[in-house]
A and B are shown apart, each in its own frame.
Chain A
């Protein structure tokens, strides 16, 4: 095959995969809106994606806030503006770091597991078995993850924000001497509801990205990433990498739109 044909074939295969991925998202929403929704599975996935991620979110949120406390105090004290440490920590966490870091953590912890679980179900023909029972595999495997991620992500982000703000206060307010009144008072003055909503919108869309990409990669394991354990391992890696990249790219577009 000549190089031009190779480029053409490569482009066509990528476009085909993008089309399949787009249709996957469309079908996920379609079956999500048409009853019956498997409530039991949704609750199970909320437990897995949401509840079981709280410890990692608590830890990353607290330490991110503590680092912001140090770095913010260091930068602001150069301009004699330490009093604005609270708004700086609050706005950074609520608008940006909270949604993004929470999403990256959930991708690593739950997204990879979702891709691997669905991938293993695919290679061991469990998905075929579901279909042969006359059941819709999307309703069982994809929709519950999508709904669970949409519900869990804003809540996890909120926990991350609260822990981060507390961590920032521990360092800035307690250790470095910015008082509680100044820290929280200035934060209340400068952080607005629209900032909070921006974070929530972002976390909602990141939840969709995580469930979409990770379920898709697992579901099409044998078709796009190969067979057996190697196929599942590739699918899991690709799920984490693609979700993380898409989260950061989408974050840029949302920030530009909401700026």
Chain B
């Protein structure tokens, strides 16, 4: 379970998060929505422990991630996967090496076991045959899928997706969301998706958290979000609404 309790964060004079609190049940998939600059990605980096809040706590199964150091923090992060907006693949390594890297470094698996697991994960994300390519030889969609394979290869309990479909064409966006959905069902992780992908993303998530001015403005079941009568949400949907490319859950 993830509990975000009253977190505040400013960069210089710019206040990005102000008293944001959310709790996410184990195994559920939550979409974090909001206008650009509402603090979605900053929130995600707080949950991952990449940013420290000025005030407040992020509890992962009761442990405050910002109070942990060294091996304790590393073992908590062993249970996490993070899909970065740009993929963050190691550009001097092939796709295979990128996906195998966390297994080589963090497990005692034999070379053959690592190979099997990497190939299986690459097959699951539809990247069979691209093992020997470098990130610079991949398309945007392939980079995201390779990054997803790297994040999923250790069966994380918590997955964070930072704008997984941004910059992809409509067909690839749909495929990416389907991939997140099938991975969620298969691995059963607790997931947070930061996205602008409306309404498609709503089809795969359980809840929607809508941020405004650095705090939670609304939290609803995904099916209720589109029909919300709240003027702020209606304005947001009117501005960001895109073509429906995925059927509603």
Contact = CB atoms under 8 A, between A and B. Distances in A.
Interface in B42-58: 45, 48, 50
A124 B106 contact: no
Given A125-B88, A126-B88, A132 B106 contact: no
B75 interface: yes
B225 interface: no
B191 to A, nearest CB: 15
A133 interface: yes
Nearest to B102: A133
B235 interface: no
B106 A128 contact: no
A247 B81 CA distance: 42
Interface string B79-112: 0111011101111000000000110011000000
Interface residues on B, range: 20 to 34
A24 to B, nearest CB: 17
Interface residues of A, number: 13
B138 interface: no
B77 interface: yes
A134 B78 contact: yes
A230 interface: no
A125 B86 contact: yes
- A-B pairs, top 6 by smallest CB distance, nearest first, are A134-B74, A134-B77, A125-B88, A129-B88, A134-B78, A133-B102
Interface of B: 45, 48, 50, 73-78, 80-82, 84-86, 88-91, 101-102, 105-106, 150
Given A120-B91, A126-B89, A131-B50, 13 more contacts: A124-B86, A125-B88, A128-B82, A128-B84, A128-B88, A129-B150, A132-B48, A132-B50, A133-B77, A133-B101, A134-B76, A134-B77, A134-B78
21 contacts: A120-B91, A121-B90, A124-B86, A124-B91, A125-B84, A125-B85, A125-B86, A125-B88, A126-B90, A128-B50, A128-B82, A129-B90, A129-B150, A131-B77, A132-B80, A132-B81, A133-B101, A133-B105, A135-B105, A135-B106, A136-B74
